[in-house]
Amino acid sequence: MYQPIARVSEAQSVRLYEVIIKRIKNMILEGKLKVGDKLPSERELAEMFKVSRVPVREALKIMEFMEVLQYIPGDGMYLKSIDLNDLLSKIDFMIETSNDIVSDLFEARQAIELKAVELAAIKRTDADLRAMEKCLEEMEEDINNGRDGIQAATNFHTEISKASKNKVIARINDLLIILTEISREKSLKRQGIAPTALVFHKQIYQMIKKHDPKGAQDIMKEHLEHTERAALADQY
């Protein structure tokens, strides 16, 4: 049912998460996956496709964001119970746009996060600072223990959006969080990037603490450009 992905031929000109999305679409068309079916776990899919868990996780997150899949906590990922034609059209859209999705994500992050950090530097409270400090401590501990700090990094950026005191920015952050995690995974999993990201985060925090919106924006812009270069350099 789940054929291994040929890294040389099929995946040569496309990213692995795109190939996985195509494979899942084909299984739906062949009747091997039906609306309402539960998918194998991330680990099981990686073993079945003979790839690492990273592109599997990315494919699942994109499909969840597009409301093709539904995650039920404590249970797993299910193919959403929607009209089959609607479901397939959403998958086609993902396949058509997936080559540019990482670049598009960073453009969206620039638009949203530069304004968020500017407002956070103006409007932040002491409680906001404590929440950011906690994220920085968790990220540093994670990196010191040989991990990538992705969750703590995501939480740090979320706390900035909350500190902006702009409900629309905070809501957009919530809606995009699945996809922005993909961009962080692409960058932070590259060797040496996570410690550099932590340095940027600490500098951003200091600018917010000092009520310096221009300084906060400048460092955030440099941070996003640095992580974008790392993410786009990753071809799996």
CATH number at residue 40: 1.10.10.10
Same domain, 61 and 113: no
Same domain, 164 and 210: yes
Looking at the structure of the chain, the number of domains it has is: 2
Separation of alpha carbons 91 and 85, rounded Å: 10
- pLDDT averages per 10-residue partition of the chain, 236 residues: 51 67 86 90 92 88 84 91 70 59 79 96 98 98 90 94 96 77 64 87 98 98 89 58
Has residue 9 been placed in a domain? no
Has residue 3 been placed in a domain? no
Has residue 89 been placed in a domain? no
User: pLDDT at position 93, please?
Assistant: 57
Same domain, 135 and 209: yes
Same domain, 34 and 115: no
Same domain, 63 and 165: no
User: pLDDT at position 108, please?
Assistant: 85
pTM of structure: 0.65
Has residue 95 been placed in a domain? no
Same domain, 66 and 150: no
Q: Last residue of a domain, which of 34, 56, 82?
A: 82
Has residue 137 been placed in a domain? yes
Residue 217 is encoded by which pair of tokens?
């924006």
Give the Å distances, CA to CA, from 147 to 75, 157, 194, 235: 26, 18, 9, 21
Same domain, 118 and 176: yes
Q: Which helix (H) or strand (E) holds 183?
A: helix 167-188
Separation of alpha carbons 232 and 236, rounded Å: 10
Same domain, 22 and 132: no
The answer to whether 56 touches 10, Cβ cutoff 8 Å, is no
Same domain, 204 and 104: yes
Same domain, 222 and 108: yes
User: pLDDT at position 55, please?
Assistant: 87
The answer to whether 25 touches 57, Cβ cutoff 8 Å, is no
Same domain, 36 and 111: no
Residue 88 is encoded by which pair of tokens?
């397939």
CATH for 144: 1.20.120.530
Same domain, 72 and 109: no
* Domain that includes residue 158, residue range: 100-232
User: pLDDT at position 107, please?
Assistant: 86
Has residue 43 been placed in a domain? yes
User: pLDDT at position 6, please?
Assistant: 52
